[in-house]
A and B are shown apart, each in its own frame.
Chain A
Amino acid sequence: MNGAAVEVRDLVKRFGDFVAVDHVSLTVGRGEIFGFLGPNGAGKSTTIRILCGLLAPTEGSASVGGYDVATQPEAIKRSIGYMSQKFSLYDDLKVEENIDFFAGVYGVAEETLAARREYVLRMASLEDRRQTMTHLLAGGWKQRLALGCAILHEPPILFLDEPTSGVDPIARRNFWDLIYQLSETGHTIFVSTHYMDEAEYCHRVALMYRGRIIALGSPAELKHSLDSHHLMELDSSDPLESMKALEKMEGALDVAVFGGGLHVTVDDSEAAAPRIRKALAERGIEIRRLARIAPSMEDVFVAMIEQEERRAA
């Protein structure tokens, strides 16, 4: 297998009049952790399903592991692991039985089955729960078991569709540790999420919005792309009044409540700071802190989506 792990060109998927995926193009290199971000309904799952051979594309082309999704779905299915958002396990089977079943349908050879089973149990820390009924497992365990079942056949490429939805923060953190481990052993990981903070963990991310990719790059690149926008943090005596005052101020692109304070996006922080001080002083609002801060991925995405909205409008 040469070339990219995933290659997508002008992919389109329509359901009737609805365009779920609108001319999406992207390339994922081998061993990369590629994050697929966007709000619910943006078309992330649809794209992943097409790449896994579960849905036929309406237009465009895509290849996974060098195989074409339209003509070689069987070859793709042998070289991928897929984990859907539902953690699709059989609840009335024991942990070990789920592993054995998926090993069977992935065609894992009998001789290597025992070793693979132990590997997965160890990886998911389920060694003490191998005889537990799956429906008795908490969300985080189930999630790791589902991941384990998807990698039994040692697929070079993994598609994880919102694998962290509905599990607690510690389980999410543990899960990302697992993803790193897999990446280090050469797996390509294509993971979708709507948790923006998870984007920081990815090598590269694509932001999908209304069926289209509106940003693509490493987290650092995307943050730099916002350089024409400066983000300022404001802690004041009256956040709501401050918001009203600043929304109308010249040079303020966006004002958002963030924790107990405000995040103000401006075109130039040097020029904006005095104006902010003046506007708030006029209203008798006391400023406790005003400083430029580095944007988080969440800020980046909120800004990009708003930019996109403005352009559409």
Chain B
Amino acid sequence: MNIRRTRAVAHKEFLHIVRDPRSLVMALAVPLVMLLLFGYALTLDVDQIPTLVYDQDKTPESRELIAQFQGSRFFRILDAVEDYGTIERRIDRDECLLAVVVPRGYARELLAGREARVQLIFDGSDSNTASIAQGYTDSVIQRYTANMRARALDRKGGTKLNPPVDPRLRVLYNSELKSRNYIVPGLISVILAIIASLITSLTIAREWETGTMEQLLSTPLRPSELVLGKMLAFFALGFVDMVVSILVGTLVFRVPLRGNLLLLVGTTCLFLFGALCWGILISAIARSQLLAYQLGMLSSFLPAFLLSGFVYSIENMPVVIRVISHVVPARYFVTSLKGVFLKGVGLGVLWTEIVFLFAYGAIVFLIATRKVRQKVA
């Protein structure tokens, strides 16, 4: 490895980057746009569920039950309706997600201490939101029913009943259960994967297309020096994107950074190195800029998005996909990002992820170097 030659490549590559303002703007704007878009738009939190109520009972008890819904931040009562037809129509028009129907005789059954049923109608076309809404609804109804039973027994003058068990959950690490807190750290891996492929995919393919690759191969420049030199220039750009992502995440979205900043930067650099090597490898294989661009995007964006556990939980995937996800570097990176950001864990917990990221980077670097070494066709 010759430092003079490697530095010459890095400097030349750096000039390419600053001379191409469009790519430069893209490399800096893409992370910002993605952060803002995903940070604000990709929220899995469910609150203010648009709800209709249909009170057939019209008793103080049924009105009190409905008041419970009105008081919760999870529901927004749109209207009280008087027939099923309206409910169906408004669900069809996506105006509401939920209808609470209190049947005739609800109060009677409730006061008699018998099972008092309430009908819930959900829009199941968004199953995720529906099931979360169901959870909230159940808890509202159960709490109210239990309170009423206790009151009824109390009035009968019987033995004073102990209040029902009121479990208090304590959520570790993301106590407000804000989806943004786990989306934003994971998003850093998606952003860096995209950026890495965006800035590297054209680099070797372009040299082949313009004939400069042939020229370079006729010089004493070694493939490892070429790959490393290019890497240095791209790394600088990727590093800026990393800083932007971390700053926007912590300052704009207020994602807590509980762990060590150095550990965060270190793991990010490891991931970036591997992702850049991957882009260079793709570029060396494709030899055409268009093909390299498409291959690079597909092979970096999709795994980072779908198989990393960034949003979609890997545990719920079929076995085959779970196995495949083990060779996706983004998976290890997302684990360490969430670990460092939300749990504040250190090297003791994350060393396996770090070893994998390091090994991945080293292996891809070697393969990329071999591919570049290949002779002209």
Point out residues on A near B: beta carbons under 8 Å: 49, 52-56, 74, 77-78, 80, 82, 84, 86, 88-93, 97, 100-107, 110
Contacts and interface: CB of A to CB of B under 8 A. Distances in A.
Interface of B: 2, 4-5, 7-9, 11-12, 15-16, 19-20, 210-212, 214-221, 375-376
A91 B19 CA distance: 10
A55 B375 CA distance: 6
23 contacts: A49-B214, A49-B376, A54-B218, A54-B376, A77-B219, A82-B215, A84-B211, A84-B214, A84-B215, A88-B211, A89-B212, A90-B12, A92-B19, A92-B20, A97-B12, A100-B11, A101-B8, A101-B9, A102-B219, A103-B8, A104-B5, A105-B219, A110-B4
A75 B88 CA distance: 82
Contacts of B210: 86, 88, 91
A105 B5 contact: yes
A49 to B, nearest CB: 6
Contacts of B11: 100-101, 104
A150 to B, nearest CB: 8
Contacts of B221: 105
Contacts of B219: 77, 102, 105-106
A81 to B, nearest CB: 8
Given A55-B375, A105-B221, A106-B220, A93 B15 contact: yes
Contacts, number: 76
B218 A82 contact: yes
Given A92-B20, A101-B11, A107 B5 contact: yes
Given A89-B212, A90-B12, A93-B15, A77 B4 contact: no
Given A54-B217, A88-B211, 10 more contacts: A49-B214, A53-B218, A54-B218, A80-B218, A82-B215, A84-B214, A86-B211, A92-B16, A101-B11, A105-B216
A27 to B, nearest CB: 22
A105 B220 contact: yes
Max count, chain B CB within 10 A of own CB: residue among A54, A74, A104, A107? A104
Contacts of B375: 54-56
A104 B220 contact: no
Q: Lowest 7 CB-CB distances: which A-B pairs, in order?
A: A104-B8, A86-B211, A88-B215, A82-B218, A105-B221, A92-B19, A88-B211
Contact of B212 (A52, A55, A88, A106): A88
A239 to B, nearest CB: 43
Nearest to A89: B212
Contacts of B211: 84, 86, 88
Nearest to A104: B8
